[in-house]
Amino acid sequence: MTILEDARRVIDNGPVCDACLGRCFADRSFGLTNDERGHALRVSVVLEDDEPFEEPEAECWVCEGESDRFDEWAETVAEALEGWNFETYQVGTRAPPLVEENEVLLRESADLPEDAGELFKSEFNREVGKRVGVLTGTEVDFERPDVLALLNVEAGDDEELSSHAVDVQINSAFLYGRYKKLERDIPQTEWPCRECGGSGKQLAEGGGEEDCDYCGGSGYLYDESVEELTTPPVLEAMDGEEALFHGAGREDVDALMLGTGRPFVIEIKQPRTRDVDPEALQAEINEFAGDSVEVTDLAVAEHDMVERVKELDASKTYRMDVEFDADVTAEELQEAIEELDGATVEQDTPQRVDHRRASKTRIREAYDVSGELTDSRHAELEIHGEGGLYIKELVSSDEGRTEPSLAGILDVGAVVTALDVIAVEGEDEPFDHPDFLEEEA
C-alpha cells in the first residue's frame, strides 16, 4: 500500500485534524510539522482522487481540538514561569486517557501499525516546548533543566487555559566550593540535642515543660555549624526555599579543617534566581562567617556534583598534637613511626561513634606517617591516611580495637589533644577546582 492509501483510510475515519493525520506518518520525511505533513497528505489525496478540497468542519475526534492550542499552552506555561530566573527548561505532557484511547482506535481502524508515527504527548511536548523557548528566550534541556512544566491537558478549560493546568517544578541550584574550619568545636552541620531531640524542652518535675538542661533550651549541642555559617548568604542571594549543605565527608567537631579545605556543595531548593556572582558571594559568605569559617573556590555547579562530593573516596592528611602517659624517647617514637608508616590497619568501630554507626571491622592504609617529640611526653605528628581511617584511634589504639597503633607499639598510653585536617583529596584523582567541575568525557 502507498502512503496516500494509508492516509485516505485515516481521513475516512474523520473528522481528523491535520496534526492527528500527520502524526500517523511522523516518521516519513523531515523538516515538516505534523500539521504541515497532514495538510500535504490531505491535499495529495484529493488531487489523486480529483475531488474538491474541504477542510474538516467538525472538531477532531482524536485530539478533541487540543492540537490547535499549542500557542495557548505555551503562553500559559510562560505565565506560570514568570518570576523564576532560569536558562533551561523542559515540557512534559499528561495526555487525557480518552485521547490516548482515540489514538489506538484511529490506527486500528485505519489498519496501521500500533506504533506508527508519533504519540500525541510527544508532539505536544515538542510543539509547546518550541514555543515556550521563543517566549522565554531560554533553551530546552532534556537531561536536567532548571525548570520543568508538566501540562495536564485534561485539566485545561475548554475556552481558556488557567495556571492550574500547568504544574511547574523548579529544580535546585548548586554551588561548589571548599571550606576551612578555623575554630574548634564547630560541627559541619546542625547537631540536634540527643536528650531533647532538638525541641529544647524537657519534662519538669511538677509537670509541664522546661528548658533542656543538656542544651540549655537551644535544641542543639553546638551554637554554630559550618552549614549555618555558609548557607544563609547563598539562600538569600538565590531567593530560595531551603538550603542544604553536602560535604565530602566530615572532620571531628574538635578538629580544624585547614590547608586546601574540604570540598562541599550548597544546594538551594526552588531558587528564584540563579544568576549569581560566585566571587562576590564567596566574599559575602566569608564576611558572614567571621573568623570561624573560610570558603574558597566557590563556583556554580551541576546537580551531579552532590553525589560526586558525597561519594568521593578521599584520602586525608592530618597534623596533630599527641600526649603520652609516660616518657618516650625520640628513638622509640621514630621506631614506632617507621612501623606505622605504610601499615595496613585493622579497626573495629570506635567506642566514641559506636552509638551511631554499625559495628564492623575496617581495613585501611596509613600511607605516610612522620613526626617528632616536642618533649618526653608530647609529640607532633603528620599522617596521610586512606579515607575512613580513624586517625585518633590509630594513635590511642581505642583499648585494642585498632591494630597496629602508636600506643600499642610504644606500650604507652597516647591521646590526640589537638587535630587539624590539612588536605582532602581523591584517592584516584586530585579533587582540585576547577578541574573537578568539568564533565567527565
CA dihedral 386, 387, 388, 393 (to 10 degrees): 50
Joined together, the cell numbers standing for residue 41 give 497528505
Distances (CA, A) of 93 to 128, 151, 249: 10, 5, 40
- Rama region for 239: left / alpha / beta (φ>0; ψ in -120 to 50; rest): left
Strands (E), 112-227: 139-140, 147-152, 166-170, 173-181, 201-203, 209-211
Q: Are the C-beta atoms of 23 and 120 separated by less than 8 Å?
A: yes
Distance of CA 29 to the CA centre of its chain: 40
Contact present, 243 and 234 (Cβ < 8 Å): yes
Cβ-Cβ contacts under 8 Å for 30 (sequence gap 6 or more)? none
Q: Are 347 and 402 in contact (CB under 8 A)?
A: yes
Of residues 406, 401, 424, 408, the one with CA closest to residue 416: 406
Beta bridge mates, 296: 178
| Nearest Cα residue to 256 out of 178, 183, 177, 320 | 183
Q: Read out DSSP for 399-440?
A: TTTEES-HHHHHTS-EEEEEEEEEEEEESSS---TTGGGSPP
Residue of 403, 381, 421 lying closest to 249 (CA atoms): 421
Rounded Cα–Cα distance for residues 248 and 306 (Å): 9
- Residue 147: DSSP 8-state: E
Residues annotated as catalytic (active site), given as ranges:
252
- Please give the Cα distance from 412 to 327 (Å, whole number): 8
Q: Are 40 and 48 in contact (CB under 8 A)?
A: no
Q: How far is CA 131 from CA 154, 159, 166, 304, 436, in A?
A: 20, 20, 15, 29, 36
Q: Which residues contact 183 (CB under 8 A, 6 or more apart)?
A: 256, 291, 292, 293
Place of cell 585498632: 402
